[in-house]
Amino acid sequence: MVKTTETTFKGSDGTQVELYVATPDSGRAPAVIVTHEIWGLEDQIRGVAKRFAEKGFAAFAPNLYTRHKSVLTPKNIENAMYKFFSLTPEERQNRAKVEEVMKQLDETGRKVVEIVFNGRQQLERQMVDDLRALVSHVRAQPFVDPSHVGATGFCMGGGLTFQLVTEEKLQAAVIFYGSNPKPIENVRNIECPVMGLYAGEDMGINAGLPELVDAMVKSKKQFEMKIYKGCVHAFFNETRPTYNKEAAEDAWDRTVKFFSRYLGVA
């Protein structure tokens, strides 16, 4: 039987950050931190956390948008992204083009762009710092085995998870189509096995894979990778049109086996 709770933890600056927790009915368990996509903490991510608990892991899914939750809702983000991503990568570097799109957005849409896109570096730093605070919170829970804590993340959350393991000692990490750590040289700080799961048709993310593999090899890190041919970004999310059932099921099977191998199941 799985128990689920909506609670909070103390973020890096003292803010109470929203947190969904799913735990198995099995005493102390290894833990997995589950970090959401750009949409925020949706029911789909809660579902992933619950699936981990069903496999014997204590799962923790934070809402890293807690400080901006009135603005950064899935609907608001999707509306703003639709406009913003109508621009080519080159056009996004053109201030006039960006300002033209901004004029088409309402006040809420402009706030979304300001926080998520224009302020991306600052936002990501805050989110990684919150994840580091969450690691400490997770290890302090009486129902968690503090020596067996892993992390996974999807899309934006995959990149945040990758950054996290360059700054925090964990026991395992699974990256779903996330961006590389910045700077890439920081992979030398990783102290746990990492598995990367990528879509074959995901040019933005995959452009960084040769550099990633090279850095992992040079740093002699334990890294394995699977690329799903014919799939696009976010193939794991069953609520999106990008979903690929066959790839998602295989990726889930690999993920559970990976965490079972390195975290164990109490």
Give per-residue pLDDT as tens, 78-105: 988 887 777 776 787 788 888 888 888 9
pLDDT value, residue 118? 83
Q: 192 an active-site residue?
A: no
What is the C-alpha to C-alpha distance for residues 88 and 98, in angstroms, rounded to an integer? 11
Q: Which two tokens stand for residue 240?
A: 């999106």
- The residue type found at 48 is V
Please name every residue paired with 224 in a beta bridge, in sequence order, or none if there are none.
Answer: 195
Please name every residue paired with 151 in a beta bridge, in sequence order, or none if there are none.
Answer: 33, 173
CA angle, 220 then 259 then 144, to 5°: 115
What is the C-alpha to C-alpha distance for residues 188 and 186, in angstroms, rounded to an integer? 5
Identify the band that residue 7 occupies on the pLDDT scale cut at 50, 70 and 90: very high
- Which residue has tokens 């053109």? 94
104-137 pLDDT per residue, tens: 899 999 999 899 988 999 999 999 999 999 999 9
- The residue type found at 148 is H
Out of 202, 214, 231, 253, pick the active-site residue: 202
State yes or no: pLDDT of 230 exceeds 60.
Answer: yes
pLDDT value, residue 4? 98
For residue 125, the surrounding DSSP H or E stretch is: helix 120-139
CATH superfamily to which 2-68+122-263 belongs: Alpha/Beta hydrolase fold, catalytic domain (3.40.50.1820)
Q: What is the mean pLDDT of residues 59-66?
A: 99
For the chain, state the CA radius of gyration. Answer: 18
State yes or no: pLDDT of 142 exceeds 60.
Answer: yes
Identify the band that residue 66 occupies on the pLDDT scale cut at 50, 70 and 90: very high
pLDDT value, residue 266? 52
pLDDT value, residue 97? 83
Identify the band that residue 223 occupies on the pLDDT scale cut at 50, 70 and 90: very high
**Span(s) in the chain for CATH 3.40.50.1820:** 2-68+122-263
Out of 36, 145, 148, 155, pick the active-site residue: 155
At 112 the three-state DSSP class reads helix
On whether the pTM is more than 0.85, the answer is yes
Q: Which two tokens stand for residue 248?
A: 């998602």
Out of 68, 137, 148, 233, pick the active-site residue: 233
| 264/144: higher pLDDT | 144
3-class SS string, 11-51: CCCCCEEEEEEEEECCCCEEEEEEECCCCCCCHHHHHHHHH
Q: Tell me if 31 sits within 8 A of 51, measured CB to CB.
A: no
